[in-house]
Every structure is written in structure tokens, then in C-alpha cells.
Structure 1
């Protein structure tokens, strides 16, 4: 990860009601069409804004991957308080995740790719983790000034991420352009 990582001291911002108005985690989880026994992952999970809705949809494992142990600790507390026992916490960057090949049916990588130094390598890692029928949802900030999110200089245009996804051997199926963010569906 780059030196421009999210500051764990600002973790409460990730659960702000304004964020739900910006991007609904339940809607994102629905895009994956997980079945009740499908394993899933949240890459760059932070304190679990997208992790918990994934865990609600499956009884199988949901891997929460983040490079910041403090964020994973906050997520662990939230998961325990919500009664989820199927969430596994993995401290790792996104370029080399300690999970076996083709072990995930659906994954989310939300608001994290702008922090990854080698995005193509990270997308290759996602491809390695996904089952043949698996699906990835990638969410990022539009390159526009907005009160939330990273500085404008760190934001990525959607065509850059689409290029990186395709360079990894994955296929982009659909792009949803929302008010201040975009959502890319890939497999």
C-alpha cells in the first residue's frame, strides 16, 4: 500500500449516515448475488461497512482483508456485537492475500484501489481468488472535488481502473456511475 492510506483515527467517518446516502452497502452486496453458502471477501475492509452486509447474505466465510490491524480490530468488535461468527480477519495488502486459489464467489474492493501501488497485481490477485463463476465489485471516488473521500490528486478516473482490471485478465461487465462514486462489476 502507498503512504496515502486511510487514517484509522477517522474510522467513524466510514460509518457516517452520509456514506449510506452516497453508496448503500446493502445494494452493493446484492450486486454480488451471493447464495446462502457462497464464500465472500471484502478487500480493504476497514471497519466493516461492506463486510457486515456480505456476512448477512451467507453462512459461509467472509474474509475481511485490510493492511491496518487497528481497522480490523474495530471490525472484529462490530462483527462480534452484531453476532456474526463467519467473518475472518486477515491483515494483508491486496497484492498478495494469504488465501487459496478460487476460494471466493464474490468480493468487494471499495475505496481502496487508489491506495494500492500495483493495481494490476492486485486485480490479478482478485482474479486468482475468484471462482470461475465469481464476481468482483470495485468502488472508487470520481475524480471530482467532494467533501468526502481522499484528496482530488489521489482519485482515479474510472477508465484507469477499467484498463487495470482488463490488464489483469478480468472482464468488466458493467459500470454504474453514481453521484460522486462509480461501481465497476467485473469477473
Structure 2
């Protein structure tokens, strides 16, 4: 739904020094325990707030997935400035991610799940591209009033999001980096 989507004209706000100081992307991605051998998908990558620090942690590819080509162009420019060469941009919506099955060991989805048309389809796609035993880190705004972020009526409470992930075959751990945001570290269950 386009009315919920962040306007790419405001992309610079997403990588501003103020936002980096508030969110501390390096601390957030520490929860994914990315190693040199991990292949990562950053779903809803925007201009690279998380993709660039993720790319520094692995020698493998980081797939920066976003529906807006303009966001990915900014990400490429930002990566070039930082001399990062292992980010592959993928223009794709999150309900039909243009990556193969079981192609990544880590998935990051930060501050975009409230924008998708179908949460179930999006979670199924995360599960599809993630190898068994791989980790997902999903972050979003808690369903509380705040000065920043999306309108309260489109926010998904952390307890509801945790239940959805569990229903889709993930083991979950919820934490709150601050009063406005939540993060769920989820591991894709190994079946058999």
C-alpha cells in the first residue's frame, strides 16, 4: 500500500547522523552475530543505514532489497563513498522477494514491516530465503505514541509480531532497545 510507504525523496533522513546516533545500527546488528561466512539479506534496505555496516562484517554478499530503485541508487552511492563492494542491490517488494530459496543465513528487516500489504506473505518470504537454523532480526516501532515514526494505527505491537513469527516456524526472543522500538531475534526452526 503506497500510502504507508516512506517517501524516497526523504531518504537522507534515514541515514542522518541524528538517526545513526539514536538507533546505533552497529549495536543493533550485533544481535545477528554476522560472521565472515554469512550471506545477509537486508529487506527494506533504503539508503543503507544497516546494509553498509552489515557488509563490513562478512566477506560474502549482502543483498540490499528495496521496492524503490531511488533508495537503492542512494545506497550504492553511499557504499561507494565507504569503499564497500559486497552489496548487491535487488529491486523487489517484500511479499515476493527476488532471491532464491535458502539463499541467506541472516535476514534483517528494520522499520518496514508495517508498510507491507501482507505481513503473512512477507514473513513467509523471509522464511523461504533463510536457510534452516538461520537468523532473522525484525525491528519496528512499538504500538505507543511517539514523536517520530509511522502513525499509531499502522504500528504492529511486539507481542502480536512475536506470535506471527512463532506461527510461521520461528523461535523468538523479543527485546526493546528503547521505549519506542522493539526488536525480535528469530531463528528458523530446523525440521527433521
Please list every run of at least 4 consecutive aligned residues from structure 1 whose deviation after the TM superposition is greater than 6 angstroms. none
Report deviation, 1:16: 2.3
Which range moves more in the overlay, 128-137 or 43-52? 128-137
Distance 2:44 2:166 in 1: 20
Aligned to 2:149: 149
Distance 1:182 1:123 in 2: 17
Aligned to 1:176: 175
RMSD, aligned α-carbons: 1.3
Distance 1:157 1:34 in 2: 27
Distance 2:25 2:120 in 1: 25
Equivalent position SS for 2:6: coil
Aligned to 2:49: 49
Does 1:84 pair with 2:84?
yes
Distance 2:62 2:102 in 1: 14
Report deviation, 1:71: 0.5
Which ranges of structure 1 fall in alignment gaps of 5 or more residues? none
Q: What TM-score, normalized to structure 2?
A: 0.92
Report deviation, 1:2: 4.4
Aligned to 2:190: none
The alignment covers a number of residue pairs equal to: 186
Does 1:166 pair with 2:178?
no
Distance 2:142 2:18 in 1: 17
Distance 2:145 2:6 in 1: 18
Distance 2:132 2:27 in 1: 23
Q: Is the 8 A contact 1:22 1:179 kept in 2?
A: no
Q: Is the 8 A contact 2:162 2:174 kept in 1?
A: no
Q: In structure 2, do the counterparts of structure 1 residues 81 and 17 end up closer, same or farther at CA, with 3 Å as the change threshold?
A: closer
Which ranges of structure 2 fall in alignment gaps of 5 or more residues? 188-192
Distance 1:40 1:96 in 2: 17
Q: Deviations over 1:1-33 (max 9, x none)?
A: 543100111111111233234321101221111
Q: What TM-score, normalized to structure 1?
A: 0.94
Aligned to 1:117: 117
Aligned to 1:186: 186
Equivalent position SS for 2:150: coil
